[in-house]
Amino acid sequence: MPFGECTITLQDVAYQLGLPVDGDYASGCLTDFHIYIEGGRPAWQWFHELLGVLPPENQVQKFAVNCTWFQETFAECPDGADEETVRRFARAYIMMLLGTQLFADKSGNRIHIRWLPYVARLEEMGRYSWASAALAWLYRCMCRVANRHVVKLAAPLQLLQSWIFWRFPTLRPSGYDEISWPLASRWSGYNPGISNKGPRVQMARMQIDLLQPRQFIWMPYSAVDVIQVVHPEVLEPRHTLLWRCRTSLIYFAVVEWHQVDRVLPQFGGVQPIPSPALNIDFLMSKDGRGGDRWFPAQYPDWHLYWQERADYILQFDIVPDPGPSHEFLTWWYQHGKRFLSPEMLLGDPKGVPIPDEATQRGAGRRPDMDRVEDVPDRRRIERRARVGTRRSQREWNWVDQAMDAGDDPVRGVGRGRGRGGRRRVGAARHGAQMPGGGDVAGVARAHHGGHDVGPLEPVWEIPRVTLMLGLVVEVLEITS
């Protein structure tokens, strides 16, 4: 942004979607439930036990079931249904809600069976932090779509769209003045028309570049209209304190970082010069492929950060006029990516003065924070380029440019980007059966003991929002 950094936080997820923040992380394993979970079953056997029916083979893609099959099979619970039938329909509805709304893939029409251990215990669904899981998935998908080869955006797009409309009044559509709960429902009837892609993207980028400091709302949820409709549970201290928590965000193999120390004005503070952004590029390269595993044991330190989340709540002063400090803006003008449009379309950015109110706020104080070690991706550049991190894209562009000029900056690096020669090992997964009797190919492994579902004891860099917001506006209009 021309005026600093902003991002979607746990506070936004709570207000926009009404999801609980405090709770256990959503993690575990993806398919090998009989190996890792106490009382678990082979995947499709458990599916049949919990839902009472198996999908036909043509409705299954590996471990995901087409949503159309769910909709046709569980369209309406029959009148006079017994308790078990009602529970089966409830399980199916929850899986559809999770698989197509909060954690949708790019197809938008597949539901993964990873949710079977969760719907097996309907009474415990409320114990999880669905807000942190949804935010982790959104962060990861936004990083992936920054990859030059990625053309579709997954994730809870209604959250992203509503966040933009609530905080950028000049970008929101007109005629949606009625506020209801959750806040994202305000735009439920919004359906933008299709226009020419090129001019629309250019216009969106120019709108963002020309934003003035007062055209971004740092604290939209303090308005009286919002306070009147907010659900009281959202404002319970066990949830609100975690809005300012600098910790990990967990969604199975996805590990992201809630780096709220860089956006203190969104919580009523003054933004000082921030600490260097955490580099978790190695974690961003992990997506759960390559054989199932118990993710709390695979990434124990990062799961522990969430378990000890109460120890990482930031303390800072609340001010009447939150925003960036003079020192921050001076630093930002020198180091930040302030504009999306080509320089030829803009005036001299150096001529933009620092607002007087930034000086009046004072310098701000950097909150006390524990140091977290970086986990950079040290693989070869051409492999890192597929991940879609900002650093990897920059490195890849540098290699391409150098090779176009006839140089050889990195020995052994070519322009071809094949899929590599990873060997695939096939074996029956302890009798896990696909519908129709086919064995599921996978890696055979010894039984590791049972685990309960949930967190048992056993760089995402926020400036990327600045780089991608123009692209996000475009993608939202296409996918709406």
Tokens of residue 480, six digits? 């709406």
Distance CA 27, CA 119 (A): 14
pTM over 0.85: no
SS3 at position 200: helix
Residue 145 pLDDT grade (very low, low, confident, very high; cuts 50, 70, 90): confident
- Least confident window among 73-77, 171-175, 424-428: 424-428
Q: Identify the band that residue 162 occupies on the pLDDT scale cut at 50, 70 and 90.
A: very high
* Strongest mean pLDDT among 50-59, 382-391, 393-402: 50-59
pLDDT classification of 203: cutoffs 50, 70, 90: confident
Q: Give residue 426's pLDDT band: very low, low, confident or very high (50, 70, 90).
A: very low
Each residue's pLDDT tens digit, 340-349: 887 666 665 5
Residue type, 234: V
Top-ranked range on mean pLDDT: pick from 83-92, 351-360, 374-383: 83-92
The bridge status of strand 270-271 relative to strand 323-324 is parallel
> pLDDT tens-digit profile of 18-73?
999 999 999 999 999 999 999 999 999 999 999 999 999 999 999 999 999 999 99
CB 316, CB 274: distance < 8 Å: no
Amino acid at 391: R
Give start and end residues of each alpha helix (H) in 363-422: 381-384, 390-404
- As a whole number of angstroms, the distance between CA 77 and CA 92 comes to 11
8 Å CB contact between 1 and 328: no
